[in-house]
């Protein structure tokens, strides 16, 4: 058994906040339903009610495993964290934090400003800045550590192994340099570096006709849905001005382009239910391949997003932030060189090295390259973080069952 866990049990404080997982699960369910019900502009080709369809998809994703529930229930995590935060002793330090630093919010990223169909530079870093905020750095550490425990539980891992992965997160975070690249990360980078643009397009679009004049329309189904006439008109208007709105697109001389398709993009666990659109646009001169764009509703201001990305050393090209009929949206091109970690595809034998690496990346994001900035947490502080992560793990296991038991 982990010596840190034994220490954590021994030094457990009295009067620790109680986490009511059933109450929090109900609130999470109500939040999800309210978010989806407020969504406007989605239309299902079959004629099915779009809200019912999206709620069913959200419920299916959230109820598939405790790890999936955890990924999509950030409000639940934050509420549970408030009940455990007081028990963490000595974890000083705060600034911009990711806010949702679980394992699958790290991934391969395109780091240069070239066209997405060109082979470019690929890096690995945090790939989701949707929930950035200012707060204690330890909250990001706890989000990542809890994801290690839940990812292990979804694979029926032994308790000793799960606790060792929790320690690996903390060890990596406190290390003076980024850890050695583990096999899953090296494999992910190799996969995206060899993914062709043709395969990338074929997985998302159907080509109507052939040759240079073929239109590429999004495949409706699990990944894409229709937009109603008003929403479609709004997005098409944006797409027609991409050469003005997105510097990388305009810099290539794309004054004239054809909008092939726009669609609602069904993506993510936590973000499912917020407005998200996909754009397929074909430059006319010169005869380059189509570009696919993601247009995603933001919950943070453009100023906060820019400041957080700079503070957390984001390595990908910054999105353009637009205002579309009261919605604040982030616009960026999609590229085959991007992909996120998928924990269900990672063998548990690599979990230790992977979570040490992710912890070290998180530490580098918080503190930069200066090793002197890394915190020097005591054994007692590490023990209290371990205890808090175990408490959060237990809350999410219970919350997952409670959420799944709620009536549809």
User: Which has the higher per-residue pLDDT, 324 or 397?
Assistant: 397
What does the alpha-carbon distance between residue 37 and residue 21 come to, in Å, rounded to a whole number? 24
Is a pLDDT exceeding 80 seen at residue 203? Answer: yes
Which strand (E) or helix (H) includes residue 355? helix 351-367
Confidence of residue 5 (pLDDT cuts 50, 70, 90): very low
Contact 115, 154 (CB under 8 A): no
The pTM of this model reads: 0.93
Dihedrals φ, ψ of 371, to 5°? -60, -25
Rounded average pLDDT over 318-345: 93
What band does 256 get if pLDDT is binned at 50, 70 and 90?
confident
Per-residue confidence band for 261, with pLDDT thresholds at 50, 70 and 90: very high
Decide if 134 contacts 95 (C-beta within 8 A).
Answer: yes
Query: In this predicted model, which residue has the larger pLDDT, 326 or 385?
Result: 385
pLDDT-derived band at 103 (thresholds 50, 70, 90) equals: very high
- pLDDT bucket at 84, cuts 50 / 70 / 90: confident
- Residue 24's H or E segment, with its range, is helix 21-38
Q: Examine the pLDDT at 9 and tell me if it is beyond 60.
A: no
Q: Determine the pLDDT at residue 226.
A: 95
Mean pLDDT of 334-338: 95
Q: 347: exposed, middle or buried (C-beta count within 10 Å: 0-12, 13-18, 19+)? A: exposed
pLDDT for the residue 254: 86
pLDDT score recorded for residue 212: 60
* pLDDT at residue 164 greater than cutoff 50: yes
- DSSP structural state of residue 408: -
Q: Mean pLDDT over residues 317-336, rounded?
A: 92
Calpha distance 366→135 (Å, rounded): 11
pLDDT at 253: 82
201 Cβ neighbours under 8 A, 6+ residues apart: 207, 216, 289, 290, 292
Query: For residue 10, with 0-12 CB atoms within 10 Å meaning exposed, 13-18 middle and 19 or more buried, which class applies?
Result: exposed
What is the reported pLDDT for 17? 54
Average the pLDDT over 101-129 and give the result. Answer: 95
The per-residue pLDDT for range 10-24, each reduced to its tens digit, is 444 444 457 899 999
pLDDT for 15 equals: 40
Q: Residues of the chain with pLDDT > 70: what percent?
A: 95
Q: What is the pLDDT of residue 52?
A: 92
Q: In a 3-state reduction of DSSP, which class is residue 294?
A: strand
Task: Answer yes or no: is pLDDT of 141 > 70.
Answer: yes
């Amino acid at each position: 058994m982990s010596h840190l866990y034994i220490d954590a049990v021994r030094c457990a404080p009295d009067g620790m906040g109680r986490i009511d997982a059933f109450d929090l699960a109900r609130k999470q369910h109500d939040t999800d339903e309210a978010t989806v019900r407020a969504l406007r502009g989605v239309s299902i080709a079959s004629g099915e009610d779009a809200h019912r369809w999206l709620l069913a998809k959200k419920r299916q994703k959230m109820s598939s495993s405790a790890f999936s529930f955890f990924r999509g229930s950030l409000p639940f995590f934050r509420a549970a964290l408030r009940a455990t935060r007081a028990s963490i002793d000595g974890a000083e330090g705060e600034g911009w934090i990711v806010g949702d630093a679980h394992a699958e919010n790290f991934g391969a990223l395109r780091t240069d400003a070239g066209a997405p169909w060109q082979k470019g530079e690929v890096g690995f870093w945090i790939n989701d800045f949707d929930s950035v905020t200012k707060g204690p750095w330890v909250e990001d550490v706890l989000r990542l550590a809890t994801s290690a425990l839940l990812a292990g539980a979804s694979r029926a891992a032994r308790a000793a192994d799960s606790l060792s992965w929790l320690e690996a997160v903390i060890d990596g975070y406190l290390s003076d340099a980024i850890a050695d690249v583990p096999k899953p990360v090296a494999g992910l980078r190799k996969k995206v570096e060899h993914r062709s643009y043709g395969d990338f397009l074929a997985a998302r679009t159907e080509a109507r006709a052939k040759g240079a004049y073929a239109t590429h329309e999004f495949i409706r189904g699990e990944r894409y849905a229709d937009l109603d006439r008003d929403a479609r008109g709004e997005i098409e208007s944006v797409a027609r001005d991409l050469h003005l709105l997105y510097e990388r697109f305009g810099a290539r001389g794309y004054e004239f382009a054809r909008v092939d398709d726009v669609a609602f993009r069904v993506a993510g666990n936590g973000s499912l239910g917020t407005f998200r659109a996909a754009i397929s646009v074909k430059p006319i001169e010169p005869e380059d391949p189509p570009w696919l764009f993601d247009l995603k509703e933001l919950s943070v201001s453009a100023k906060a997003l820019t400041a957080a990305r700079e503070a957390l050393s984001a390595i990908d090209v910054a999105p353009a932030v637009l205002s579309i009929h009261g919605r604040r949206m982030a616009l960026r091109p999609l590229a085959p060189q991007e992909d996120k970690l998928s924990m269900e595809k990672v063998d548990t034998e690599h979990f230790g090295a992977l979570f040490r690496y992710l912890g070290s990346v998180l530490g580098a994001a918080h503190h930069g390259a200066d090793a002197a900035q890394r915190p020097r947490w005591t054994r007692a502080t590490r023990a209290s973080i371990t205890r808090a992560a175990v408490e959060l793990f237990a809350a999410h296991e219970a919350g997952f069952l409670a959420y799944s038991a709620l009536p549809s």
